[in-house]
Structure formats: C-alpha cells, structure tokens
Structure 1
C-alpha cells in the first residue's frame, strides 16, 4: 500500500518483524481477516542487507531506522526501533491512528477495535494486571522491571508524535531501563487510555475466565513439551494451559507466536556488543553506515574499539593503566588474543593500537611547506581556526598537509573536509590549545623530534596564563596568537610569540526569515537586543546578567524594545541557566532561549537582531562579535580584550569598564587571582537607550562595522599569508622576535 492510498483517519497497522520466518505473514493474515479495511505494512528490524520479502499482503514501510541506530539500540529494543520509526511517519504524514504489533509476540484471533485510538487518545495500552493481582501474580518487583503494560502492542493516536519521538530517543540513547518501563513513563508524560476489553487480555499475566479471546500476548511462548505461555518463568506458570478452552485458543494462533529473534551482526559476523553500542551512541548524527559502508565503519571502529573497551573494563584498567599511563604495548599484545578468547568481536583489528588516535604516515621532512594539525573535521571554534588556515594556505598556493586530530569530544561536521593525514613537512602549525599539546605529542610523536619544529596557534581568554591549566610549553618552538591581547598573555611562557591575525571571513548565513525564530516571531517592529553565549564557555565570563541589568535600567517593562538571550548547553550548566532564567523572570520583554541551531541558522539569528550586546568580562577573540559586524548589526561590547583588535569607537559602541579580580566567578576554568573586566552597567544602559532613541545611529554603526570587517579581512589575510609564506620558505620557528607588544 503506498502513501497515496492512505486516507486521513484510516486505521493503520505496523507489524514489526525481526526474523525471516512465516510468523509475521500469519499475523498479517489474521489482522486482514478481522479488519479488511485497515492498512497494513511491515517494518524490518534485522540486517538491512538481508531483509526478506515483505509478509504476504504487505509492503515494507518506507521509513526505516538509520543503520547506526540499529547499532545503538539494545538487542531487545531493535524491533520497537523499527516499529516506532514506521509509526512516526504515519502519524506525522497522515495523522492516522496506528497500531504497532510485534510479530512473534502477539497473536490475533478476533476484532481489535478496542485498541484503535480515538481522536483525543495519545497512547492506548493493555495493562498486564487489572485489579488486585491474583495468587500474587504479578508482584511489584516484576511490574517494576517489565512495566505495567504490554510491550507487545501499543496504539498511537494522531497526537502521539511527541510520545513516539521521545520513545525513539530513549531507545538509541541507551539505558538499563526496559522498553516496558519506558512505556510506563510515556503513559504518564503524554497521556494514555488503558484498554480493559477482556477479550484483549489473554497473556502470561492474566486470562479472564469465560471470555472469548481476540488477542494473545505471549512474547516468550514455548509450544514444545507442556505448552507454556512464558518459557522464562521458573516454577509453576501464572496462567496454566491445562484448560481445554485456553489450550484450544493458543493452538489456533500458534503459527503467529514464535520466540525466535534473529541475531543482528555487522558484516563479517561481528557481534554488536556493549562497547560497539556505546561508541555508536557517542557518535553524533547518522553519517556512519555500518552495513552500506562496512569497510569504512570497520576502520572507524578499529580506531576506537580497544580504547573504549579499556575504559569500560576496570580489570583491564587495573592491569594496563588508564589515560596517559596506559602500557600501550602490553595492552596491544593482549588485544591481539582477545578475539580468540571471545573477549572481543572478531575482525576488529588491533594492529593499529599504538595511540588513542589513528597513526599518521610520515611521507617527508620538506622545508618548503607546513603541516596543519587540529580539530579540522569537528564542530569546534579551534577547529574552525584550523580550517581557515588550511584555506588560506590553499588560496596562497603554499604547500601544506592537513591533519585532523581526533582526541576531542566535539561532534563531527556534517560535511567534514578532506584531510591528508600524513606528515610531509618539517614544520607543523598546531591549532590545538596549550593544555592539549602533551596529548598531541603522545598521540602523534611523528610530528615532533629532531629536525622538526612545532608552532602552537593557541587561544586563551584572560590577560595572564598564570594559574591557568598546565601547558606543555616544551612541545613548541613558537606560539602564534590571533590577537595582541592573547599574545601578551602567552609571552609569560617564555617562548617566542607572534601575533598572527586570523582572517575573519564574511559569514555564510541561511535565508531563514526573522519570524521563523521563536523569540522573534512576534517582535514585529520592536527593537531587539540580543546576547548569544555557550554556557560551556563560562557563563560568568560572557556576563549575560550584566546585559539584563543594563536593559532593565534603560527601559521600563514593555516600553517597546526586547532583549533575547540565546544560549546553548543550558542543561549541562543548569545552575547558571536557572540563575539566568530567574533574572529574566519578572520582565515579559526579556526572553531566554536555549537551543542548538545549525551554524547557518545561528548566523541568521544574529543577522536578524537590531543590536548584539556583549558585556563580556574578557574575550580572547570574540568571533560572534565579528560575525555581527560583517552583517551590519551594531554591536555594544566591553572596551576590553581581544575584540579591540577589530573594533573601535567608529565601528562599535564600546562600554567602559574597570579591572577586578576574577574571584569565585572563574569557577573551574579560571584562577581566582587573575583579573578581568567589570563593564559599566550605567554606560551600557545609556548606549542601549541611544540606539533606540537615535534611529540613524544603528544604521551608521552597522555600516561602519561592515566596512571595518572588509578592511580587517584584507589586512589580516595579507599578514597571515606573509607569515605562512615565510614558514613555507624554510623559516625555522624559535628564531622569531617577540612581537606580543
């Protein structure tokens, strides 16, 4: 049945299948007999490349689980992953009520009308027990583990999209909670109707006496020997089939019941164990395709599997060490024999197990070019710096090799750039912050050593490095800095420092309309001030509370202007986020919006603001400020730190400040004895007021900002190309003149 045959309000049935036998076909026939007008389709939960023909009378659902999600879900959850994926498209596309039946676990012998969700239903479930459990069955512990409702059949109403999505997210996120228990929680969160029709109650948990049986729920049925509805129960069964009517009912539908569940393995017979599932869950998105791109996935797995196994096994950690103290050679020797001892899946090659990151091939030691190493394929600010430098090298025609460094938790880019992954030149520019340089040397010693030089392109937010995280200064011969502010701080290390400005290119924004963003949807012609920050970048440093204080001082409630504070990672820094929400709670014209946006949409959001406000305590660079300036958005910013390299009083509204001790506000990130700025709330409020009261001011500052960025980009590009050309011509780092001042 195709989507064109579907009619709004028509009942649809999804039969979820995970074994290539005739059980599903028997279930389809039974449903078709009882309900010839219903639409039936099937969803496959097994190996994507071994999918059999669809059960007779159906077609496979067009929406299937992503291959990597099949690796993320537990074995017992895969069938619901398939069923829910198909159900989601039915509810989303057609708003039809849908019933998901698990093939092999459920048998139909009569009409299922009582399971059909009404217009107001979200979930329709069958309780395992109605009233007081008889003879102690089921007891509380069993209900707590397995759930209080059947996990073999669920009805989803037209309004169930949120519930289905929530259930799917839980299946791929991984936990020790059974699907039945998760379904219990879903009924509480999203609403449910319990189907207590006695004809649909036959199961190993209960079987109403004297009732016709329309549905039997028996996921662990065993036909051999004395017939048991549940072969997993030790001792006397809860529901005995030593009853003529019950036995006849079960025998009449036995062809629909089967405990079989085909094991899912990766190509080559690799079993999906807990370590593989954990790695799959850590990987963002759906770019990995374990079956369609088997070799690529196996290569990816081989690079990570052994270290993840070590991380999860206390016995191995005790034997071989952890983190930087791992005895790599001893662990590698153990790994070679692990598969043969059934301690790891076959065909995951331990041969490259020398570092937590892939080995780099050394192809030369030329002095006419540069290796660039960094988080080039990751969503990371430092990664973006590395990609910019690679682009500048390519445009300038300077020989180079691009190396993507993998020791990071940042997610992969949707479209990562091609990287050479080999060491061709004697000089390396490492776009890896100073506190990670020791790891880089440990992971890739081939970049270091006699005849080779390393330059660190580093970032830091304060005016001093004293008291900050430990930095492996001995790994570099020279430090490059994107701003004069950071260069002065890095000079404390005693290593030659150069200011190497980073060309801040024109941002590429999406064309998403202003009213598409939730907090801007009803802004109409009101002047909107915006603040953007990542809580993981230290909330106190970004100082959104200062922006709220300035806004509330400048404008009375609902006077006209709006303040939107756009954050990310509020859940990970929930204390700081709650403090922010509390500060904004009494003002209806202040909105706090925590949401992850694609980069192009994030830039579009900034571009739709009437002014960007940054009352920061300190910035190493301030990339978001430069992006706003490129887009003609006037910026109100603290007159302090790295942002002063690309803005002045003609191109921005700069806020006066005084230096104060960081103190407790630095938290885990910054030393209390360091200093940073305390921007003037009074001055910031006056500047906000000016932008609203002087309509021409915003346009004038915005145009000047754009012009400044165009000029700055040309100048910084020329300066960086000159420095890179010098390196490419054989300059030896370490002989640089300290130009941090």
Structure 2
C-alpha cells in the first residue's frame, strides 16, 4: 500500500485565513492527501467552510473534557496551539494515516514533503532544525514543523505527559521541549536548506525566484514561514519581497472569503464578555492551588452552564466587611503597579479609596462590563452608571458609527477607540465598516449589527478628502433625517478650499485635539467640538521576546509610520539624523524604523533606505504586522521617537506612553494633548512653511521643523540615564490611564450627545408648536 502523508495545523480563529492558505498549498503538492485545521478557540464550526481542509475543535482531539474546558482559560490562543499538538497528531494517526506532518498556520509550502513518509519507516519523529540545514550545537528544532510516523504512539504519550505536567501547574508551554527528544523514539532531523525558511535563518542565505519557483542557496524552496519581522533589511532581496507580497495577497483574498463565518473564540465568554488578563491570572493561580490540594477547583466558564458560576466566583467578596472588595478587584490591584502604589492596603486602610476608584475609573479602564461590578455599586456615592452593551434591552435611540474599522491605519484605530468610549458611556450604537482605503484591511473587528432601535445620530470617522466618496457609496438614506457628525483629523494650520465641500455632508465636526479644532474653526460653517479620544493600553503578546522578534539585544530606539501619511510630515529622516548625531557605530544603541506602504511611495522609500544604510546600527523594515505584533514591537523597545513636523493627534506616541515607554517627540501639534515636559522628552522646533510636493497640504501652510540637535541630546540622555527614562515612561503610563481612558472620554462624548439630542428635541417641539 502506498504511504500517504496527512497534514495539519492548529490556529486561532483570527488566523484561519493563514491556515487556509497553508492547507491549499499542502493539497496542491500532495494531491489526494487530507489536511486538517484545529481551530483552538472555535465554539461552532461549519464542516465545509474550508474547501481544502476539514475543521476540528478542541472537543475532537482526545483531550479530556476537563482539559478542553480548562486550557482556554489558562493559555492564550497562540500558546494553546502549541499545547495541543500531540493530541491533534495522535487523533490523525488514529484515523489511519501513515505519517502526519504539522506546520504552523503561517507557513506556506512550495514543494512536496513526500520524503517524510520514507523517514517515517525508520523513525517515530521527524524534526527540522531552526537554523536550516547547518549542523549546530546545541540543536534547536523548528517549532513550526514536526512529523510523526504510524508507530509514534510511545513518543506522543511521552510528549502528552510532559505537557500534562505543565497543565497541572498552569505553567507556560516549553517550546524547546523537543530540542532533546529521547533517542529511544528514533528522532530524525531533516537536513534540507529548503525547509523551514524564516526571518531568523534567512540572513546569510540567498533566496532567488524564477517566476513563482523559488530556491534557497540553489536548493528548491519547500516551506517558508511568514511570521517574521524583517528588521534585518530582508527587503533588499527582490525574491523576498515577491514571495511576501504574493503570500499577503493570498491571505487577504482568503480573509474576504471567510469573513463573518466564524464567531468569537475563547478570547470571550459565551456571552461575548472579553476574557482579560486579570481573569486569566486568577484562574491560573486558583487552578494551580487546586492541583496542589490547597484550595477548591475554580469554575470553568466553558463547561456547560459554567459562565454564571465563573462570574459569581470572580465577584466573590474577599472580606466580610464594607466596602465590598471582590476577587476580581484584587486581581486588578495585583496586576497594576500604579494602583498598588496608590492603594497599598486594599483590604485595610485603603479599602474605601480603592473601592471608590474602581467604581469611578477602574472597571471602565480594565473591562467595562456591569457584570464585574461589586454588588454594592448601585448604592455607592461615587458610582457611575453601568453602561449598556447593545443587547437590545436599553432604551433610547442608537448611534451609527461608520469608519475604517478593519483598516490598519490611524483613523481606523481612532474609530475603534471611539466605539470603546461609546461602550463605556452606555450609548447604544451600530457599526458600519468602510473599506475605501489603500491600506490593508486585515484588522480583526467584530461588526456590531443593528440594535433595531431608531437611529438619530451618525458619527462618521472618515476624513474630509474622502467624505464625498463615502457619502456617494453609502447612499442618501444613511444621511437623510439624521444629525451627522464628522470625526476629522488635519495636520496643518490651513484647511484648503478644495476640502470645504466636506462641510456639506455634516452637521458638526469633532476634533481630537486643540490643534485640529483651531485649524477648522478658521473656516468651518458648522460647529467644531473637541472630543477626548480615548487611549487604550495596546494588547501585546507576552510570549514574544526580543529574540523572537529579531530585535538586537541592545538599547533600542523605535519609530513606526505609514508612507501614505505624507513622508515629509512623518519625518523619519529627522530621526535618522538625530540618531547619527547621538551615536557613532557600535556605541551600543540601535534605531529600528518600522513602516508600511513603502511600495506605494518608492522615491521616498529609496531615500530612506539610503539614509539608513549609512549607519550600521540603523535597521529598516517595511511590512505589515498584525496589531498585536506591532504593539509587541513597541513594548520591546527602550524608547519611542517621533520627530514629526505635525500630527493631528499622534496615536503611536500615546500608545507607546500607555505601554510605559519614554517618548522623545517634537513639542508641536496634536501630541500636546497628552505629552508634557513631565511625562516625555519634548524637542524644540522652528515654524516653517510646508512647501511644495506635500499634498494635500497647501504649500503656504505651516508646520514644525524639529530641532534635530536637541533630539540627539535627548536620545543620548535617555541612553545614558535608563533609570530616569523608565521613571518618565511610568509617569507617562499613569497619565494616560488617569486622564485619557475610555471612561474619561466617555463623559465628554456622552454629554455632547445629550446636548445634541436636547437641541434636536427643542427644534422638533418648536416646529410642532
């Protein structure tokens, strides 16, 4: 009988498009073989949703019912994928496969892996070295690939037992476990330079392309892993640019096909309440105590009917006295340095102050759900109203919010943050995603369907240059009979006449900074209201390190930007000039420039590449990352730098501050909404004319020319005084939490909506009278 290899992967639902591209490539090179995708955070899957693969959930791979319910609470989806590999492989071997190969979901195959079946005749386990075909000691396996033979039951049993020990103690998964597979299982290591090519092993090797056929060091490419970040300037290779572009196009096409097919996963409770870090840490700790016979078993929300018991457990009182301090509140206290410093004794002398802070601010900042409020919240003197969650039970009209919710650009993130503020304010809303942008539309966003309430207000997060096209595309029924608010960002002091027609589509404009408001007020025939844009602490991946990100193990300055946001305004050349002035080659610091859309602005792209190439400690990468990957990159840097000429708000700076990073920036424009001399390092500037070739800005408008010499002094200062810099970053994070959270923003937005509705009601009454 001819041996046939089966393929598989495990993936979060959010990466299902990547896994589908992998499945299609596997089937293309192994016709007649089966491919299986385990969706680790999927509750309900349609069997035929993926043409090239069958879909499984955690209930289908032989885990005990206990582990199937517990593991999603212990591990994040990415770690959960690593945790369940042996059970997935064992399930497929039990179905009769001669050999099964596992690939990470972000891999694509370019040639067959038929030799795995031949190796499986003699070996239980087939691994791939992390650094390619080279012999290296100590051996490190590539966690993105493993294959097992039909005789691998002893090995899989050993692997399951090792992982089970981690489960028992709620420990992180050791990805290096298979670096030392016992020889009793006859492991075999592939020595093929074409297997497992990735960002960490490509430097020093040559990838070439002949059409759509690729070779690595003259060996046919068999698999490429697209999870990397090319801070080593891999874009110097045309073949790398080609293969990454082609893969991205395939994933985007698959995402469009799969959109709306899959529900929220185990990142949420069955009621769609988000599982936050405090719930996860509480559950891990309690489960470890239960395993050690030191406490009762915590309830799992994924067991049948388990969510009410889980919420009751979270809200259990920690003391019998007043005020009420719950288990969840203490977890928030334990996980936040600023709150521990403010309220060092939450069950004693600081109990009342901590309780009142949680009701007024804490629950909004962490997980704004009334389900997590203590039972005495309604009677507390400083309590805020519990927000509605658009479940059809709250009264009053709803608000339509339209914007680039799935786009990976600043105004798209602003729309998502505005929704967070509406959620915190308890304002019912619907969302309408708009796709009219050249930026990638790969940000995961759960559309809020119609609340089936009447809608009296539209909030449109689309800038004035695109607003007429938006209005034409969405149709007149969206605007007719509703009060429409335009949320606009603008970056210079003059608002040009060609954009004035955008005022015809709105009744009011909202600006996120005094800088934008002042520019619009000069010419606006409509009211201009300054609203507070909330800033959230960005979600990061704690399993990633500098090593896994490919960042040098030195003091790292970072700047991220979009070439489509006007290259001269973002001014990355100024950052390079300041870094060169501050540091000679090899002095210990590195500068990482992370951009997107360089392929759309090739002249500027080549100008930046040339400037970066003149200093060996400057690294430049132009590629899309997921939001979590981008945030994790920021979290791993030592200092964020923005020598912009102007910003409407400056969200990347605000996010870096929220992550506790010291920020060096031009002391001009919208970033002064949240930056001060006490929480950041501000650089002086000279106001200059914009000049030619900076559309859409008028040449005679003004912006800042930052003081590069002062920026260099600040960069050197931060490098030489890391303790002071960390302290300033901590001050920045505290200021963002206390002054710019969704709860704070919610108050100004809710009040403005109330004023608008009162005014509309008064006008309607006058007309009736």
Q: Contact 1:496–1:734 at 8 Å: present in 2 too?
A: no
1:504 aligns with 2:535: yes
Q: For 2:568, what is the secondary structure of its paired residue?
A: helix
- Output the CA distance in 1 between the equivalents of 2:486 and 2:31: 61
The structural deviation recorded for 1:560 is 1.9
2:727 maps to: 700
Match of 1:545 among 564, 573, 582: 573
Aligned with 1:580 (options 600, 605, 608): 608
d(CA) in 2 for partners of 1:733 and 1:660? Answer: 47
Q: Please, which runs of 5 or more residues in structure 2 have no aligned partner?
A: 9-23, 36-47, 55-95, 121-132, 135-189, 200-208, 221-245, 263-391, 764-769
1:440 counterpart (460, 463, 470): 470
Deviations 1:420-465 (A, max 9, x none): 257831221111111222223222211223x322110111222221
Kept in 2, the 8 Å contact 1:519–1:593? The answer is no
- Cα shift at 1:729: 4.2
In the alignment, does 2:706 pair up with 1:679? yes
Q: Distance in 2 between matches of 1:734 and 1:656?
A: 48
Residues 406 and 575 (structure 1 numbering): CA distance in 2 closer, same or farther, change over 3 Å?
A: closer
Say yes or no: does 1:456 pair with 2:490.
no
Cα drift, residue 286 of structure 1: 2.6
Once the two structures are TM-superposed, the CA of residue 647 in structure 1 deviates from its matched residue by 0.7
Deviations along 1:314-337, one digit per CA (max 9) or x if unpaired, are: xxxxxxxxxxxxxxxxxxxxxxxx
Secondary structure (helix, strand or coil) at the match of 1:663 reads coil
1:690 Cα deviation from its structure 2 partner: 1.5
* Cα distance between partner residues in 1 of 2:697 and 2:197: 42
Per-residue CA deviation, residues 108-157 of structure 1 (Å, 9 max, x unaligned), is xxxxxxxxxxx99xxxxxxxxxxxxxxxxxxxxxxxxxxxxxxxxxxx99
Kindly state the Cα deviation for residue 705 of structure 1 after the two structures are TM-superposed: 0.7
Give the greater-gyration-radius structure (CA): 1
- Residue of structure 2 in register with 1:395 after alignment: 424
Q: CA RMSD in A?
A: 4.8
Q: 1:420 to 1:615 in 2, by over 3 A?
A: same
Q: Would you say the 8 A contact 1:455–1:476 is kept in 2? A: yes
User: Aligned match of 2:664 in 636, 644, 665?
Assistant: 636
Q: In the alignment, which residue of structure 2 is the partner of 1:344?
A: none
Task: Give me the whole-angstrom Cα distance separating, in 2, the residues matched to 1:685 and 1:2.
Answer: 61
1:160 and 2:194 are equivalent in the alignment: yes
Structural mapping, 1:95-114, within 5 Å: none
1:84-483 aligned at under 5 Å gives the runs 85=109, 87=111, 158-161=192-195, 186=213, 191=218, 284=252, 286-289=254-257, 368-413=397-442, 415-420=444-449, 424-442=454-472, 443-449=474-480, 451-466=481-496, 469=499, 471-483=501-513
Q: How many residues align?
A: 460
For 1:463 and 1:413, locate their aligned partners in 2 and report how far apart those are by CA, in whole Å.
Answer: 33
Match for residue 141 of structure 1? none
Change over 3 Å in CA distance of 1:590–1:468 after alignment to 2: farther
Give TM-score scaled by structure 2 length.
0.52
Partner of 2:654: 626
User: Contact (CA 8 Å) 1:550, 1:681: kept in 2 or not?
Assistant: yes
- 1:509 is paired with a residue of what secondary structure? coil
Change (3 A) 1:547 1:453: same
* 1:433 counterpart SS class: coil
Structure 1 residues 441, 592: CA separation in 2 closer, same or farther (over 3 Å shift)? closer
**Partners of 1:708 and 1:555 in 2: CA distance:** 31
Residues 508-527 of structure 1 aligned to structure 2 (within 5 Å): 508-516=539-547, 520=551, 522-523=552-553, 526-527=554-555
> C-alpha displacement at 1:717, in angstroms?
1.7
> SS of 1:618's equivalent?
coil
The alignment status of 1:529 with 2:557, answered yes or no, reads: yes
Q: Matches of 2:637 and 2:709 in 1, distance apart?
A: 22
Question: Where does structure 1 lack aligned partners over 5 or more consecutive residues?
Answer: 7-13, 19-23, 25-38, 53-57, 66-80, 98-118, 121-155, 166-181, 194-277, 295-362, 736-741
**Equivalent-residue separation in structure 2 for 1:291 and 1:458 (angstroms):** 28
Q: How does 1:604-623 map to 2 (within 5 A)?
A: 604-623=632-651
Q: 1:660-679, aligned counterparts within 5 Å? A: 660-664=688-692, 666=694, 668-679=695-706
Partner of 1:598: 626
Tell me the TM-score normalized by structure 1: 0.53
